[in-house]
Chain A
Amino acid sequence: KAGVTQTPRYLIKTRGQQVTLSCSPISGHRSVSWYQQTPGQGLQFLFEYFSETQRNKGNFPGRFSGRQFSNSRSEMNVSTLELGDSALYLCASNGDAGVALINNEQFFGPGTRLTVL
């Protein structure tokens, strides 16, 4: 069974640009979560999607957005990039059957390393 794939793995952008990151979950998984990981703030929740619907979001500005497609693949977009957006962006796939995530296992992808210059 293939794991979670994220593309691209590395990305360099300049301030003011926008970026789109992609995540393909494990086959059959309908829940996809996104996280931002930085040395200073740790791993922070961005948003979670299930069957194309955003069910929860973290405390990030509106420049961070996401969506999920009918095949469960997900994208996140960051507009008007700032230096502080440099981070490892992780996607996690969950076999959630539609109920709360308690006891469920998240499977993480390797992440996309975004550098903003």
Chain B
Amino acid sequence: TQLLEQSPQFLSIQEGENLTVYCNSSSVFSSLQWYRQEPGEGPVLLVTVVTGGEVKKLKRLTFQFGDARKDSSLHITAAQPGDTGLYLCAETSGTYKYIFGTGTRLKVLA
């Protein structure tokens, strides 16, 4: 069974700080997605990465896919309170299901 480990599990930072969260797998990813979930809502897709070494940017968020496609990172520059939420990585096994990571709960203090 493929496992997706995310670290850190919890993160509390001040507004304006930078942070990085990680997603690691015991196997090679087919593709990887990052989601953010806010309280009372379902996860919302932020990005999909497919190619090893790929880097994608979404405003202050930078997503990187490891060369070997077994790890990924999400870097947030100058975090804002609106970035608060649960960040989840997810891998599509290619057989009609997604495997989600353990999650990183981020709190950005004003």
Contacts and interface: CB of A to CB of B under 8 A. Distances in A.
A99 B25 CA distance: 24
B96 A100 contact: yes
Nearest to A57: B97
3 A-B pairs closest in CB distance: A108-B42, A43-B100, A55-B96
Contacts of B43: 43, 90, 106, 108
Contacts of B88: 42-43
A31 B97 CA distance: 11
Interface string A39-57: 0001111001010000110
- Range of interface residues on chain B? 20 to 34
A116 to B, nearest CB: 20
Residues of A contacting B: mostly: strand
A102 B102 CA distance: 20
Contacts of A103: 31, 48, 50, 92
A101 B100 contact: no
A88 B105 CA distance: 17
Contacts of A4: 42
A42 B102 contact: yes
Interface of A: 4, 31, 33, 35, 42-45, 48, 50, 55-56, 58-59, 90, 92, 96, 100-111
B66 interface: no
A45 B92 contact: no
A90 B45 CA distance: 14
Interface string B1-45: 100000000000000000000000000001101000000111111
Contacts of A107: 45
A45 B97 contact: yes
B45 A42 contact: no
A56 B94 contact: no
Contacts of B40: 110
Contacts of A48: 96-97
Nearest to A48: B96
B68 interface: no
B42 A42 contact: no
Nearest to B94: A100
Contacts of B96: 31, 48, 50, 55-56, 96, 100-101
